[in-house]
Every structure is written in C-alpha cells, then in structure tokens.
A and B are shown apart, each in its own frame.
Chain A
Amino acid sequence: MAGSFDFALAIGGEAGQGIATPGNILTRLFIRRGLYFNAYNAYQSIVRGGHIFLTVRISDAPVYTHGDKLDLLLCLNQDTMNRHLGLMGEGTRAIFNSDSINPGNPRQGVELCPIPVSQVSGSRNRLVQNTIAVGATCALLQLDFAILEDSLKVRFARQGQSVVDENVGVARAGYEYAQQNFTAFPTALPETDQPKAQWAGNDAIAMGAAAAGVKFYAAYPMSPSTGVLHWMAQNARDLGIMVRQVEDEIGVANMVMGAAHAGARAMCSTSGGGFALMTEAVGAAAMMEIPVVLVDVQRAGPSTGVPTKTEQGDLWQTLGASQGDFPRIIVAPTSALDAYNTIPELFNLVDHYQCPGLVLSDLLISEGTFSVVPEDIDMNPSINRGKIITEAGTGNGYQRYKDTEDGISPRALPGTEGYVHVVSTDEHDEDGGLISDEYTNPYKRRAMVEKRARKFDDLEGRVASPALVGPADADVTLIGWGSSEGAIREAVEQLAEEGITANRLQVKWIVPFHADAITAVVNAAKKPIIVENNYSGQFYRYLRSETGLTIESHIRKYDGEPFMPHHIANGAREILAGKADVFVPYQEVNV
C-alpha cells in the first residue's frame, strides 16, 4: 500500500437486513471523495437469514485486496458480534445496536460503541439501525455531516423528500450520538481531487463485451455470473445489444453460436456447472470455426458445490471442455479492470482465429466491487473482425474451409450473395461438405485437423507474456494465475517488511501458455512457490505438463474464501523455514 490512509470496515448481518444499502451509501461516499476501495462480500445461498459480511477497504491509493484486518466492525445482529469481535485488534471499534446485541468480551484496546438505536432514532423500525450505523461511521471518520447528507440525498432522491428527510434525520442522530460518546479514529477520512467510479467485476466483464462490440448476449442465471446478465439487460436497449435469458446453458451456448455465425459478436457467461452444459458447443464452435466467447465465473465445486464461494477449480474443465482434440484460447484475468480490457482483446483473437475463447473469472473478481478511475475505462478499444466477407460477389470457387497457408479461411456471413455454403459439426472438406458419412477420407481428415491447429501457430506472440515483478534475486518467487494477483502483490509487500525479498509472476494467458518465459523465471528463482485457490494444484499440474518443470512448494486454499495477503506471506515464511511443502492457510474469518 502506497497510500497514507489504509482503513477497512465491515458490515455484518443476515440476508434481508439490508446490508447492501449502508455498504452502497458508504462506497458511493468514498468514491465521491476520490478514494479507492476494494470490497468483498461474503454471503450464503440464502435470501433471508444466514450471515453476510461485507468488507470494504479504503485508501487514498489504489487498493488491490480487501486486506487482512478490520478497523471498524458494524454489527447488525448478534451473530456478527459473536463471529467477529474476537478478531478485532487494538485501536479498532465495534458499533452495534445495544437494544438487541450483547457485545461479549473484546480484546484489549477494542472500543465498543453501543448505540441504543430506538432511543437515539425515536423509531422502532429495524432498518434504522443501518442508517444510524452509517451516521456513526462518518462521525468516527471525522467526516463533515454535510457530506453524508449529500450522499443520502442522492441515494434516496427517487424515493421522495420524506424518505430523504427521514434518513438524514436518523443518520444525523447516529452521527451526533457517536461524536458525543465514542472516540473518533485518529486519522480523518482523506480526500483526493479525482472522483472515482465503482463497479463489480461482472460489470467490468459486461462493459468489456459492450466495448468489444458484443451485440448478442445470452445467459441462464447462475451465481456468481449473473451480474453480467443484469448489466447487459439493463443496458441492452441503450447499446442495441440483443440480450436473452435462455432455457438452459446448452441453449445459451448454441444460441450464441448461431448469432456469431450470422455475424454478431456474441458472448455468454455462466459458472462451472453451466459451463459443463455448454462444453459440447465449445467443440462445435471449434469445428465450425465460429468465433464465440464463453465466460466461466468459477465458484467452489464440484457439482452444485458452494454457490456463493470462490475457487480456482475449473482450469482443467476449460482445458478439457468438449470431446476431441482441438485448440481453444483460455484467459484468466487478474482483476476487474484487467477483465474489462481482456474481453475486447479476446474478441479480436477469436475473430482472427475463428475459434472459441474461454474466460476464467471467479467469484472474487466477478462479485467483488472496486473503485475504478473513470479515465481508465476506454470504451473504444481497437476492433479487428478478422477475415470476413459481407459484400456480395460471384464467390467463384469459394470454400468456407479453404486450406490456406495460415489455416485461416475467409468467413462469408450468411446472407452474403455468392458465397452460399454449409458449416458443419461433422468433419468436412474445404467446401463444408461432410466427409464423415459416406466416404471417410483419411487424407482430408488429416488436412482439416492440421488446418485448424495451424491457425494457432502464431498465437503465443500475439498476447503479452507474463512478466516477473520485483528483484531478480529475490528470496522467494510467488507464481499465481488469474484473480490472486492482488493478494500476492500485497503478500510481497508484507514479506518485504520482514526483510524477506519476494518477486512475483502472475500468469493470465492459459492458452497460449508462454512456456519458455515461465520456464526462464522458474529456473532463475531461488524458491518458486505456486499459489492457487484449489486443492489439487490444477495450475501447477498444467504448468508441469507444458514445461516439464517440477516445483516443490505450494500455497493452496480451498475453503471457499479467497486468499488474504497474510495467508500467502505466512505460507512463504513457513516454506522458507522448511516447515511446509504445501501450505494451506487457516481461514480466520468464519463467514
């Protein structure tokens, strides 16, 4: 953390208690002040009840994870108090409704901030405790009440003046009560001169698609991918995107393929279970050479698994998706902004190579919410649709699957006069005619397999190779893939504070895999450690298969919760001390 201010608060309660509202009021307030934030919401697959725990970490500098520690705990129910008070350390505060919640025994240096909500608010409405808590939070952060008042006015404007007045009144009561009764944090909430925007990773994926020119999006709702569908549905009419909720994921993938075949840039998102249903279509897109993008927002599996928890467990599912032997592109973005930028890049690749492209996101990236610098959102990335034919012609001798030198055959879109042809999931010859039925032709079959494979000969050079960050002679090299970049980045900083030098290598492109570059890093590393959010070391096994390298040290987590930076730092320390080969961190926060 380069910032001077590093503060984390958490709001805990049960589903249905309206945790999203105070969370949203606060994050909006933070970004309006130009602050950065990173928020992670731990929740369960339940509409009412259970335990929800929203952690928001705020800074005046970019913030890459939800962090390791809390400064302020907002308890909306007894369960939250019971679960989390014990983890609060010196100098922290815990705000709770003393009408209904018993604090228990805090550690030394934790300031309990009980608020008799019904007395302070003069209301028996259970939801007022949320607004009281927001008011008290602003007081503890030494914020002018007028700033909160502005935020509340904006937030509740559409619900009418009386709702605005009620919320402002209640928030003021909480604010004043906290000012009079509790100790403010020593550092006031700072401000920068550059207002931020906020998005969830799923918003970023959807926006990346919109920027790429996606005109057809289909989905079947599935946590934690549904946010992409929601964004698309919300913006469909403005952007002219055909958005469909389809009967199942098989229909989704095939509908997307149909739209892509007709010429639209087309995408779908799902989670692992839905992706399993889509897999036959992945092979179909490869065989018919239709460019499509499928996003798998991973959650903890197998099977229905843990629908609201994260994991990096679908790597091999995407590598092996669909029967047969064919190339596909696979990319695992490392952050929401990276996902945003990657989608247009991937569309250019799948259009160029006329192939399926798969994106591995996960719950951490997709459902996390983050500040983003508005100027970083370039909605006009370069668009390259590859070799397509849309102008009428004589089509003399046109062959859809012409066996060209680079393996890429110009693609005439249906409707184009002069280029009538058939595409087929059966093996076919250059003009699309089946060779699978009447006379299988081994020579043509071999030529077509090689043509489809040859297309990718230059793929590796078209995307960025992973780059080592940090000193070359570091004590330890942390190798991660996809969403773990933020946690690894902070773990490196934590290790540095203890005098352990670390560098890091984050792999984003799974296929193509930059085997030579990665091999060079591993061979030069004093202590390479692979960090991944699964049990069996899926990425390590893939790396080994592509490079032949053996790596002894691993940090793995598979309890459903994402890595916190100290989990990785602890692992590196234990491994360096020779105490572990495979380190599995303990998840302290029970959510």
Chain B
Amino acid sequence: MTTGSAQMTAANFRSGINPDWCPGCGDFGVLNSLQRACAELGLQPHQILTVSGIGCSSNLPGYINAYGAHTLHGRSLAVASGAKLANHDLTVIATGGDGDGYGIGGNHFTHTARRNIDITYIVMNNQIYGLTTGQISPTSRLGMKTKSTPFGNVETPLNPLTQAIMNGATYVARAYSGDIRHTTALIRGAIEHKGFALVDVFSPCVTFNLDNSHDFFKQRVVKLEEQGHDPQDWKSACERAIEWGDTINIGLFFQGNDIETLGQREPVLEKGGPIAHRDLAVTDEQRERIIRRMM
C-alpha cells in the first residue's frame, strides 16, 4: 500500500457530485475540512472508507473521492467497526448527524467508544432533524420550538463530549464548521490518532434551526488551545466539556495516547494481515485439533 507519495490536494478528494445540501449548510465546511485533512495526510482515495448513516450529513460519502458506504440510519459505527476489523489497513471514517449518531445510533456510539476501535467519527451536529423538516434531536436545547415541540422542548439535551470521554473514547474534539482551518486540524488529528476519535462539529442547519445559527456560534466559540487546556488531563477535559453559555469551547478536549486500541488487544489481528484477505482454508492440523476435542 502506498502512502503520501503523490502530492495530494483537497481537489483530489472531490467526487464530482455536487452536494444536495442547502446553500449555507454547515456541512460544506465539514466536507471541505475532511478533504483537506486527507490531502494533508497524503492519503490515497482507495485507502479510505467513509461510512455514514442517514440524514442530510450522511450523504457525505457520495461527495468525497474515497470508498464509501451509505448505510442504515444510526448504524454507521457498527458497519465501520466491522469494516475496520476485517481490513485494518483501511482508514475508516464514519460520518453522520446528531440524530443518527446520538439518537437512533446511541447504543453503538457508547460501545464503539468503549472498544476504542481505531476509527474516526465525525458528527455534523446541527441540533435538529433537518431531512425530516425540523424536529428536535438529542442535542436540541431545552425550550427549543420545532415541529415536534411546538410549545418548546422539555427534554435535556445530551452532551456527546462527556459521553464519549466517559465511555472510553481516546480522542474527543469539538469543532465549528465555519472555521475550516481549525476543523481540518482537529479532523487530521483524529485520523492520525490510534483509537476511537470523535470530532463533534457544530454544523448549523440554516433552514430548520435558526437558534443555533452561524452567528450564534461565531459569537460564542472559543478555542481550548488558546486557553492552555491540556488534553491529557482527563478531569479537566470533562469539566471543559460541560461548560456552555456565553462562551462555548471548541478544540481538542481529551486525548489518551497510551491506551490500546481494540485491534491492538485482539490477538487474531497480531499477524497475518487483514482478515478480509487471508487464506480461507482450514488446515489439516486445525481440523485434527477440532475433531479431537469432539471425541
């Protein structure tokens, strides 16, 4: 497998299909950042597998020049995990929205983090269900008025960052898609990181969420890197992740570097290369061992 030989640019990762997102959608910034990050890392399109669920943002695999799987609603992490375990040479990047990942896919989010499997998960968090034309999501703020909460949301939103950190993710970051350089750096760090990496990106829905607009975020986001935060400090990471108000932190909250990934702990992957490409035949010695135990 070749890496980094050719001079790659973000343009190499354009698929040629124009996104069907609304003009001004935050997802454009995420796609752009991801393409830049892949180019900066010198990855080749065939080395990457993007996996998404369902929702506006889950259309992303169609727009990036890489292998892609546009799977079922909420299941991107399960499919991505299977693909990564079957071929650990692939750079596996799961993408999707907050409803897809934190709502219907919440169980997989919890357990994929716990397993610390070496995949990158980019969530385009717009705090709304957009494709279904505007209902609350698991990250919608208390009191938010939507078509499913015409008198205001009475449920507390979840915090994907603390959840990921608590559950065992080893790279937890938050970005704002309006800042492409910063988002690119965080996604690049996530791909380079060995282990489960979450990049939760504020990616405003300009059509159905007028509460959490570009202006809303531009006025509030502050970078952790500029505040002297140490991402190795787990406790501080949790504290910074729950801060929410006039200022909202973005940046790398937590990174645990010395924690084994699932692939590193799994003896089946120790040698022999990706299981997807191994010889399928059972040897005579293996057969002998199996039959002997049955007698």
Binding site for B on A (CB under 8 A): 31-32, 195-199, 203, 207, 210-213, 215-216, 218, 235-244, 246-248, 250-252, 254-266, 280-281, 284, 288, 372, 374, 377, 379-380, 383, 390, 392, 413-426, 432-434, 437-438
Contacts and interface: CB of A to CB of B under 8 A. Distances in A.
Nearest to A247: B111
A215 B276 contact: yes
Given A258-B80, A434-B62, A422 B86 contact: no
Interface of B: 1, 15, 17, 20, 44-47, 49, 51, 54, 59, 61-62, 65-72, 74-75, 78-87, 89-90, 107-108, 110-111, 266-269, 272, 274-278, 280-282, 286-287, 289-291, 294-295
B71 A197 contact: no
B280 A213 contact: yes
Contact of B280 (A215, A259, A280, A419): A215
Given A215-B275, A247-B107, A259 B294 contact: no
A380 B282 contact: yes
Contacts of B280: 212-213, 215, 265, 383
Contacts of B79: 254-255, 257-258, 261
A244 B85 contact: yes
A344 to B, nearest CB: 10
A211 B290 CA distance: 11
A130 B256 CA distance: 54
A414 B67 contact: yes
A49 B243 CA distance: 53
A206 to B, nearest CB: 10
A263 B87 contact: yes
B272 A415 contact: no
A379 B282 contact: yes
Contacts of B54: 425
B62 to A, nearest CB: 5
B270 to A, nearest CB: 9
A418 B67 CA distance: 10
The 8 closest A-B pairs by CB, nearest first: A213-B280, A258-B82, A263-B276, A254-B78, A422-B68, A258-B79, A197-B294, A255-B82
11 contacts: A199-B294, A241-B268, A242-B269, A246-B111, A257-B79, A258-B81, A379-B287, A379-B290, A414-B46, A415-B90, A415-B274
B46 A415 contact: yes
A263 B278 CA distance: 10
Contact of A31 (B62, B110, B111, B295): B295
Contact of A213 (B70, B81, B82, B281): B281
Nearest to A236: B268
Contact of A259 (B70, B75, B86): B86
A378 B207 CA distance: 61
Given A198-B294, A420-B45, 10 more contacts: A211-B282, A242-B85, A244-B85, A254-B78, A262-B83, A263-B87, A265-B280, A415-B67, A415-B87, A422-B15
B87 A414 contact: yes
B147 to A, nearest CB: 21
A322 to B, nearest CB: 10
B46 A240 contact: no
Nearest to A197: B294
Nearest to A263: B276
Contacts of A424: 62, 69-70
A256 to B, nearest CB: 6
Contact of B268 (A242, A433, A434): A242
Contact of B82 (A203, A240, A257, A374): A257
Nearest to A258: B82
